[in-house]
Amino acid sequence: MIGASARTLSGMTCLAGVIGWPIAHSRSPKLHGYWLQKYGIDGAYVPLAVRPNDVGQAIAALPKLGFAGINVTVPHKQAVFALVDELDEVARRVGAVNTLVVRSDGGLRATNTDGYGFLKNLKEGAPKWCAADGPAVVLGAGGTARAVVVALLDVGAPSVRLVNRTLPRAVALAQELGGSIEPVAWQERADALDGAGLLVNTTTLGMEGHPPLDLDLSRLSRCAVVNDIVYVPLDTGLIKAARARGNVAVDGIGMLLHQARPGFWAWFGRDPDVDDDLREYVLADLGG
């Protein structure tokens, strides 16, 4: 296993990092550091603690400081959306960005890779799942749900039942994204499972330090796939309950790992592997 170790940077070191506030919790430096070391790349990936008021100046300084690009995390994903020179189609539709690349002319190109990571993880954990098999139920209408819903519609889900505690938020998201999205009240969540091919939890429920997800799965087909994007703990109550009744259940750690790949590739020139060693390395850090 590759571990963190002191090393000397050269004058040619390729620079990337992650901006957020706070940033100390971010697993991205460890993840990218693992890949840099594994592939022997002369690169560095640094945590950048940037206050919300300073985001504009920080972003503008990236080309001048020689950064190849950065990841963007909470709470800056929407603010940075409005500050870049070029947005790809996915970022535009999701309305938030998590990956910036500094172009050769110094301009900033941005994308959102959360949906990519979500789908890669889902297909890896449930290879037989096919979006066209049935409606998808998405619990939550927060920041990450936006990327998940866009990804599901793009890959051919016939419809998305968007269940949220604050119903107007689901209604607003459905209107904004367009397509076949049906907002569902939180009290109706168990009924919404009827006939679904996929259930995804994008709420914070079930996460360490948050209340458990209270959801009766009896209406869910045993052929449906269940995915929890919460990864602390890895085996959430939802994952355990789904496995116990025979559903294929996919945990959230692979989404975290896969969403990082496009940035690493763009900055450091290599599409990195997501394998068991990496999974174990990151899980050890999470105490999993």
Instruction: Name the residue nearer to ligand NAP (CB basis): 99 or 203.
Output: 203
Asked if residues 277 and 30 have their Cβ atoms less than 8 Å apart, the reply is no
Q: Of 43 and 252, which CB lies nearer to ligand NAP in the complex structure?
A: 252
Residue nearest to ligand NAP (CB): 142
Among 207, 215, 260, 274, binds ligand NAP (CB under 6 A): 207
Residue 166 phi/psi, 5° resolution?
A: -95, 95
Identity of residue 113:
T
Which tokens go with 258? 């896969």
- Beta-bridge partner residues of 200: 138, 227
Note if 64 is an active site residue. Answer: no
Q: Which is closer to ligand NAP, CB of 227 or CB of 247?
A: 227
- Please state, in angstroms and rounded to a whole number, the distance separating the CA atoms of residues 173 and 281: 36
Catalytic residue among 77, 123, 128, 240: 77
Phi, psi (rounded to 5 degrees) for 141: -135, 35
Q: Is the peptide bond prior to 233 cis by the omega test (within 30 degrees of 0)?
A: yes
Binding of residue 30 to ligand NAP (CB under 6 A): no
- Those residues with Cβ within 8 angstroms of residue 75's Cβ, 6 or more apart along the chain or in another chain: 20, 21, 52
Taking the least distance from each CB to ligand NAP, the nearer of 172 and 223 is 172
Phi, psi of 48 (to 5 degrees): -120, 105
Closer residue to ligand NAP, CB minimum distance, 70 or 102: 70
Q: Does the footprint of ligand NAP cover residue 252 (CB under 6 A)?
A: yes
Sites for ligand NAP among residues 4-23 (CB under 6 A) = none
Minimum CB–partner distance for residue 64 and ligand NAP (Å) = 30
**Contact string 154-193 vs ligand NAP (x = CB under 6 A):** ----------xxx--x------------------------
**Residue 141 sits in the site that holds ligand NAP (CB under 6 A):** yes
Q: Helices in 103-154 by DSSP H: which ranges?
A: 114-125, 143-154
Which of 100-108, 137-145, 263-271, 280-288 is the region at the interface with ligand NAP (rule: CB under 6 A)? Answer: 137-145
| Entry field: residues in the chain | 288
Distance CA 87, CA 277 (A): 33
Determine, following the binding rule CB under 6 A, whether residue 205 of this chain makes contact with ligand NAP.
yes
By CB under 6 A, tell whether 131 contacts ligand NAP: no
Element (H, E) at 68: strand 67-72
Angle in degrees, CA 239, 251, 114, rounded to 5: 135
Binding residue (CB under 6 A) for ligand NAP from 202, 227, 236, 247: 202
**According to CB under 6 A, which residues from 107 to 126 bind ligand NAP?**
114, 117
| Residues identified as active-site | 77
Residues near ligand NAP (CB under 6 A) are: 114, 117, 140-145, 164-166, 169, 202-205, 207, 211, 229-231, 252, 255-256, 259
